[in-house]
Structure 1
Amino acid sequence: MDADELLKRYCAGERNFTQVSLHLVNLSEVCLAGITLDRANLANATLSHANLSGANLTQANLTAASLWRTNLSRANLIWANLKAANMIRATLTKADLHRGNLAKADLRLANLCDADLSSANFAGADLRYANLSGANLARADLSRANLTGANLSKADLSHTNLTKAIFLKTDLSYVDLTQVDLTQVHLENCLLNGITLPEASLIKVG
């Protein structure tokens, strides 16, 4: 299926495009709100500035896709593969990314406020200045992720893997880290208002 056929059918009222192959397709700046693309192949697709709010992208393959400024608010991305995707300034507020693969994804300045990111893989992801306030990151893998300037205030980081993650001027206000291994984490110059650290923590937090 190509972009023209998809848009024609969508405009005619069709919403279910399960398992469709859209590899390398260009769907930038289009409105596909509420579309169902579960298990679709969107690898290397261009979806920049598109409106995919409320979309069903469960288990979709979005490897290396361009999602710059894409609206994915309230989208279902459970088990979706977003490895190495360009998600700079993407809107993912209240999106469900449970067990999603976002390894090495570029999420600079992305808005993930109140998103479900539990058990998601963010290993090596670039999250500089991203908004993760109120997000559920329980059991997520943030190893080697760059969180410089990110807002993690009131996020759930229970049992999260933070090995070698980069924290610089990160907002960790009111985050409970009592169930997190901080042995390889440096929290210098972070905002730590109301933070709860493990009793035996030797981490420098000045």
Structure 2
Amino acid sequence: MDVDELLKSYSAGERNFTQVSLHSANLSEVCLAGINLASANLTQATLSQANLQGANLIEANLTAASLWRTNLSQANLIWANLKAANLIRANLTQVDLHKASLFQADLRLANLRNADLSGVNLAGADLRYANLSGAFLAGANLRGANLTGANLSRTDLSHAILTKAIFFKTDLRYVDFTEVDLTGLDLSYCFVSRESLPIQDFLEVG
């Protein structure tokens, strides 16, 4: 199926496009709200500024896809592969990214407020100035991620991996750090509340 066929079928009311192959397809600025693209191949596809609100993208392959300013709010991306994807300024509010791979993805200025990021792989991801407030990050892998200026207030980071992550002017107020190894991290330039991080631990980390 090519792009024209998909758009024609979608316009006619069809929503089920599971396992479709759209490698390198250009779907920028199109409205595909509520579409079912489970297990679809969207490797290197261009979806910039597209509307994918509420879309089903379970186990979809979006490796190196362009999702700049894409609306993925409330989408289902469980087990999706977004390795090295461009998600700059993407709307990912209330998205379900449980066990998804965002390895080395670019999420600068992305909105991940109240997203389910449990068990997600964000190793090496660029999260500078992203909004993750209220997100569920239990068990997430943030090894080497850049969180400069990011808002992580009221997030659940229990059991997360933060080894070599970069924290600078990061909002860490009211964060759940249960069972998190903070050894070697410099949080001295971050916003940290007593409720989320005991003052003695904070002094030892910085």
TM range (shorter): over 0.9
Q: Cα distance, 1:13 vs. partner?
A: 0.1
Residue 171 (structure 1) aligns with: 171
Residue 38 (structure 1) aligns with: 38
Letter aligned with residue 148 of structure 1? T
SS in 2 for 1:6: helix
Are positions 1:113 and 2:122 aligned together?
A: no
1:93-144 C-alpha deviation (Å, 9 max, x unpaired): 0000000000000000000000000000000000000000000000000000
Q: Does structure 1 conserve the Cα–Cα contact (< 8 Å) formed by 2:107 and 2:127?
A: yes
Letter aligned with residue 205 of structure 2? I
Residue 29 (structure 2) aligns with: 29
Mapped to 1, the partners of 2:81 and 2:178 lie a distance apart of 30
Instruction: Please list every run of 5 or more consecutive structure 2 residues that lacks an aligned counterpart in the other structure.
Output: none
SS in 2 for 1:140: coil
Residue 141 (structure 1) aligns with: 141
Calculate the aligned-residue CA RMSD, in Å: 1.1
SS in 2 for 1:5: helix
Residue 78 (structure 1) aligns with: 78
SS in 1 for 2:9: helix
1:30-64 C-alpha deviation (Å, 9 max, x unpaired): 00000000000000000000000000000000000
Q: Cα distance, 1:186 vs. partner?
A: 1.2
Residue 132 (structure 1) aligns with: 132
Q: TM-score, normalised by structure 2?
A: 0.97
Mapped to 2, the partners of 1:72 and 1:10 lie a distance apart of 17
Q: How does 1:45-84 map to 2 (within 5 A)?
A: 45-84=45-84
Mapped to 2, the partners of 1:170 and 1:200 lie a distance apart of 19
Mapped to 2, the partners of 1:176 and 1:117 lie a distance apart of 14
Question: 175-184 vs 23-32, which deviates more?
Answer: 175-184
SS in 2 for 1:18: coil
Q: Does structure 2 conserve the Cα–Cα contact (< 8 Å) formed by 1:177 and 1:195?
A: no
Q: Does structure 2 conserve the Cα–Cα contact (< 8 Å) formed by 1:162 and 1:181?
A: yes
Residue 95 (structure 1) aligns with: 95
Mapped to 1, the partners of 2:195 and 2:188 lie a distance apart of 14
Count of paired positions: 204
Residue 2 (structure 1) aligns with: 2
Q: Does structure 2 conserve the Cα–Cα contact (< 8 Å) formed by 1:52 and 1:72?
A: yes
1:63-105 C-alpha deviation (Å, 9 max, x unpaired): 0000000000000000000000000000000000000000000
Q: Does structure 1 conserve the Cα–Cα contact (< 8 Å) formed by 2:157 and 2:178?
A: no
Letter aligned with residue 12 of structure 1? A
Mapped to 1, the partners of 2:128 and 2:23 lie a distance apart of 28
Instruction: Please list every run of 5 or more consecutive structure 1 residues that lacks an aligned counterpart in the other structure.
Output: none
Mapped to 2, the partners of 1:195 and 1:68 lie a distance apart of 35
Q: Cα distance, 1:199 vs. partner?
A: 8.2
Q: Cα distance, 1:200 vs. partner?
A: 7.0
Residue 203 (structure 1) aligns with: 205
Mapped to 1, the partners of 2:2 and 2:92 lie a distance apart of 26
Mapped to 2, the partners of 1:79 and 1:126 lie a distance apart of 20
